Chain A
């Protein structure tokens, strides 16, 4: 069963690129990786999803190495509004396993 761990917190400044890594051992061949953003008193919001290699959308990129034991969410040029908690999610055939969450603080 996949277990997911993330750094507890990260600090950054506006305009910088932020990379948040999630470690997920024992990930199975068919498991997907998804990243979510959560603000206080709100539900998590979908950012990006991937299976392998690299995926990019209008807000982020997701890098997954060949062994798939980790994944990295990349946020280009963060702003103050990106201050939030970020979760990775491993979707298996019968369970959904969230990471521990990374609190990103962006400073001006």
Chain B
């Protein structure tokens, strides 16, 4: 069974630009969540989607948004990039319910210059 696939693996963007990251969940998983990981703030929850609907949201500004498609694939968008947005962005998929845990992808390393 293929794991969670995130593309691209690495990305360099300029301040003020916008970026879209993609996540393909494990086949059959319908829940996708996104996280930001930085050395200073650690792992922080961005949002979670299930059946194309955002179920939960972390404490991030509106510049961070996402969506989920009917095939459960998800995209995350960050607009008006700031230097502080440089981070590893991780996606995880799961079946709904607490008993299954989350399977993470390897992440997209975003560098804003």
Q: What residues of chain A have their CB less than 8 Å away from a CB belonging to chain B?
A: 32, 34, 36, 41-46, 49, 51, 87, 89, 91, 94-101
CA–CA, A49 to B48, complex, Å? 19
In whole Å, how far is A71's beta carbon from the nearest beta carbon of chain B? Answer: 14
Cβ–Cβ contact A43 & B42, under 8 A: no
Q: What residues of chain B have their CB less than 8 Å away from a CB belonging to chain A?
A: 4, 33, 35, 42-45, 48, 55-56, 58, 90, 92, 98-99, 101-107
Number of A-B contacts (CB under 8 A): 52
Chain A residue nearest in CB terms to B107: A43
Cβ–Cβ contact A98 & B43, under 8 A: yes
Cβ–Cβ contact B102 & A46, under 8 A: yes
In the bound complex, residues from chain A placing their C-beta under 8 Å from that of B45 are 95-98
Q: Given A95-B45, A96-B45, A98-B42, decide whether A44 and B98 contact each other with a Cβ distance below 8 A.
A: no
Cβ–Cβ contact A100 & B42, under 8 A: yes
